[in-house]
Structure 1
């Protein structure tokens, strides 16, 4: 065969291969477009289906989660709205439930301590979710918070007789004594309340309830009736560094942290055995009143001022002393206070975090929704609507629907949420 013949043959072969590849590429694009269309439909671009698909954990919904989130209305900025609105408008627009939903809840009022410092939208979601007119709420605003943030929270709380700002506020440092002091400041205010609360529960600004108020009441007055719920164990060896040397708080120019010194600490007062556990609890009123006056509790508090994260040993330690009201000396980690996905528990207590980890705690993403609603815990941490707005929006609507389904009184229209993902009221 001549060189010209070979060249022509090669050219024809190239043309043939090009046509085949082009055809295959077009088929792939068609398949991909069909897959994308199917995924978007699964993700819920039609009324009433978006959150439902996500709660069901549909894989297609998770694959295009970011697309869905960007295509939906962003979380609204509430600060300016709150400062410019009157109370009746705020209560209605933010969907606060203004009447008790059952007699059982009225007969078992709760107290809440909420320590907050940022993310006003998340605070609004939290307070409007847990608010009932027969409970009482103490809000501790970090002194590092912006002026606008503090003003907005103060404006909102002024609309309710049973919600108030702590009379003494701290500059809270992560893992510092100031975090424990903030809770105690609220407790000193709450024991003066005329509302006969049974348990006090503490929350932070990135928490959200999983159980309804009635379910929380039933849980506390059932298994924990008259007892304190402080999950924890005797201080493990790997946690002793927290209390063996003195720690100090550093706050300057917007920066704050806790750092160790070379000064060794003496043993705890009164030969108290230290325990280690969660900083979050449900404490009886009798226990709180006792702790605020008992000399052993005062001495341990003073001793704890220069320890690392004292809120993780103070409450659980006092609750293991036999003669303290409602104490549980033999308790361990039991108690469903908060659902948390810890990084080091991935593969054991959970299958992973679909959001991202901050200080080894999962900030929940879309793929965590089903795990959350199936959790036996009362509350969950942590959420960030500035990053995962669809997570908090869907959970908020799911939670409110469950609350209103259990109501024993006529439900008012303003208690429902308007579904931003359709033109219908979410009910």
Structure 2
């Protein structure tokens, strides 16, 4: 082989090696600083085309998405003593800080968010539901770490219309404390200086399926105008042990649960109320919230419910069946789709199974659930984990935000668009080495 051929082969080999090196380098993630990163996804940029294919359930997109998600590494909570840089957060996280329409301004909403973990997922939810004319009360489980409570407080402090409930409960799943957490926020939201028309409760792992304007139009539409939404039915026979026996909350280091005792409740339901069973999630008129806080029947039912199991699944729905309660709907049943949820026992009955993983028999959505989610008509969906399924979170944003902006009556600001860069530190310079910390 002559010298010219050897030179050609050598150059070709070098070119291949350089290209391979560039490819591998491009695939390697830059190290992510610890602390207040609030990384939405953590595994690179995802074009709209990939998310669109995932919402269509295309197998090739599912394979690529799964590969990307494996690159993500969950981050630690903020280090003690650190502070959130609010200016950097608001500038880089696509918060819409202007009311988009007169219709929305005239119909402000109040949100009650009960949270106990995962700052990333909470912040992802907040920026989806945030509007400057709404009000947000965050109840933080008193059992959480000091770092988490401090982090939530710092996040709330970045906004004039977001606050942390001043009274915090040690929340036990299925216990009275979960109901009390909502009532703590209601007490503060009921102040006359706060303007809102409906109160909506969420947990920190929910996500909206409708824009703010779509929510407003839904609540103003027939048959919901001036009505509460508390889907439910008369208490079924198999649910009666929840309220016929005394239950106690148990809290010890590392675990908490509700214990059913052998003791039967001796007192009947106060005021001869008929118990209903339904969802713990609701949309309540302001007048009904005042009724809940002040009416003697509501107070007595609350007291009676203290030793029942999961009282939030009978309290709201029972009060909303009282004929003279504001916004009541005594004949309502399961109408009003507040939540889209994939329950384990409903797999292959009402849904096609969970493509992520189950927690307490509820699906934490994976990539294969996006197609199903896009077809739901509920107001919100549950449940999501940004760090477990980062691409799901990012695609949900890319699915919701364009629709939100398309409904705006004011000029669209560039920072309202979901950004392609996902390091969330210095967006302008595309530099992940500068954190959101001061």
Does the CA contact (< 8 Å) of 2:77 and 2:148 recur in 1?
A: no
Alignment of 1:16-415 (within 5 A): 47-71=47-71, 79=78, 83-223=82-222, 224-265=224-265, 266-415=267-416
1:17 aligned partner: none
- The answer to which structure has the higher helix fraction is 1
| Cα distance in 2, alignment partners of residues 168 and 195 from structure 1 | 18
Does the CA contact (< 8 Å) of 2:94 and 2:419 recur in 1?
A: no
> Structure 1 residues 75, 251: CA separation in 2 closer, same or farther (over 3 Å shift)?
closer
> Structure 1 residues 160, 231: CA separation in 2 closer, same or farther (over 3 Å shift)?
same
| Cα distance in 1, alignment partners of residues 419 and 178 from structure 2 | 37
SS in 1 for 2:402: helix
Deviation at 1:219, TM superposition (A): 0.3
Deviation at 1:389, TM superposition (A): 1.2
1:29 aligned partner: none
- More contact order relative to length (CA 8 Å, sep ≥ 6): 2
> Structure 1 residues 115, 126: CA separation in 2 closer, same or farther (over 3 Å shift)?
same
SS in 2 for 1:292: helix
Does the CA contact (< 8 Å) of 1:83 and 1:152 recur in 2?
A: no
Deviation at 1:66, TM superposition (A): 2.2
Which deviates further from its counterpart, 94-103 or 279-288?
94-103
- Residues 201-249 of structure 1: CA distance to partner in whole angstroms, max 9, x if unpaired? 0000110111000000000111311110000000000100100110000
Deviation at 1:79, TM superposition (A): 3.8
Please tell me the root mean square deviation across aligned C-alpha atoms, in Å: 2.2
| Cα distance in 2, alignment partners of residues 385 and 60 from structure 1 | 22
Q: Which consecutive residues of structure 2, in runs of 5 or more, have no partner in the other structure?
A: 1-43, 429-438
Does the CA contact (< 8 Å) of 1:77 and 1:121 recur in 2?
A: no
Does the CA contact (< 8 Å) of 2:84 and 2:154 recur in 1?
A: no
| Number of residue-to-residue matches in the alignment | 380
Deviation at 1:94, TM superposition (A): 2.2
Q: Which consecutive residues of structure 1, in runs of 5 or more, have no partner in the other structure?
A: 1-43
Does the CA contact (< 8 Å) of 2:198 and 2:283 recur in 1?
A: yes
Which deviates further from its counterpart, 172-181 or 52-61?
52-61
Deviation at 1:155, TM superposition (A): 0.8
Superposition TM-score, scaled by structure 2 size: 0.83
Structure ID, larger Rg: 1
Which deviates further from its counterpart, 402-411 or 284-293?
402-411
- Residues 362-396 of structure 1: CA distance to partner in whole angstroms, max 9, x if unpaired? 11110110111221011000011222111111112
SS in 1 for 2:114: strand
Does the CA contact (< 8 Å) of 2:77 and 2:147 recur in 1?
A: no
> Structure 1 residues 193, 204: CA separation in 2 closer, same or farther (over 3 Å shift)?
farther
| Cα distance in 2, alignment partners of residues 46 and 258 from structure 1 | 43
| Cα distance in 2, alignment partners of residues 95 and 287 from structure 1 | 34
Which deviates further from its counterpart, 379-388 or 280-289?
379-388
2:28 aligned partner: none
